[in-house]
């Protein structure tokens, strides 16, 4: 099944998808938007056009495992996305994914505006790949 993932951000939201075999996650797009209803609609359009049957939303827990305001916002976003699309959403712990994404981009020497444009979709890939790996 095609699964999409979302790395929800304040200014940019990364989206990734996997292949039908659920083996490999790849970046899809980055939504540049700050108004939540518009983010929901743009993400809904992207995951529907990708043919996703499930959406994994990153859950930004604190390092001690507790959930703060960002986690509450992610849960509310996931519920709204599921209501809008009719596609089931699940939450996936996303601690350190942005740091890992920056490390990957350091390895590939991706800098400046290009880095800013892709870091959120790379974080979404990491969230999705973590989810896929946890299912095995």
Residue 84 sits at φ, ψ, to 5 deg, of -70, -40
Is the pTM for the entire model greater than 0.75? yes
> Using CB atoms within 10 A of its CB, is residue 41 exposed (0-12), middle (13-18) or buried (19+)?
middle
Q: Please name the residues in contact with 100: beta carbons below 8 A apart, sequence gap of 6 or more.
A: 123, 126
Quick: pLDDT tens for 20-71.
999 889 999 999 999 999 999 999 999 999 999 999 999 988 778 788 888 8
């Amino acid at each position: 099944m095609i699964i999409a993932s979302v790395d929800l951000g304040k200014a940019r939201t990364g989206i990734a998808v996997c292949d039908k075999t659920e083996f490999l996650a790849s970046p899809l797009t980055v939504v540049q938007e700050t108004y939540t209803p518009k983010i929901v609609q743009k993400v809904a359009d992207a995951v529907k056009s990708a043919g996703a049957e499930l959406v994994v939303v990153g859950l930004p827990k604190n390092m001690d495992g507790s959930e703060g305001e960002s986690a509450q916002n992610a849960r509310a976003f996931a519920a709204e996305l599921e209501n809008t699309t009719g596609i089931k959403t699940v939450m996936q712990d996303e601690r350190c994914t942005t740091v890992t994404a920056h490390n990957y981009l350091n390895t590939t020497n991706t800098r400046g505006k290009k880095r800013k444009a892709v870091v959120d979709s790379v974080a979404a890939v990491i969230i999705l790949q973590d989810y896929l790996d946890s299912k095995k």
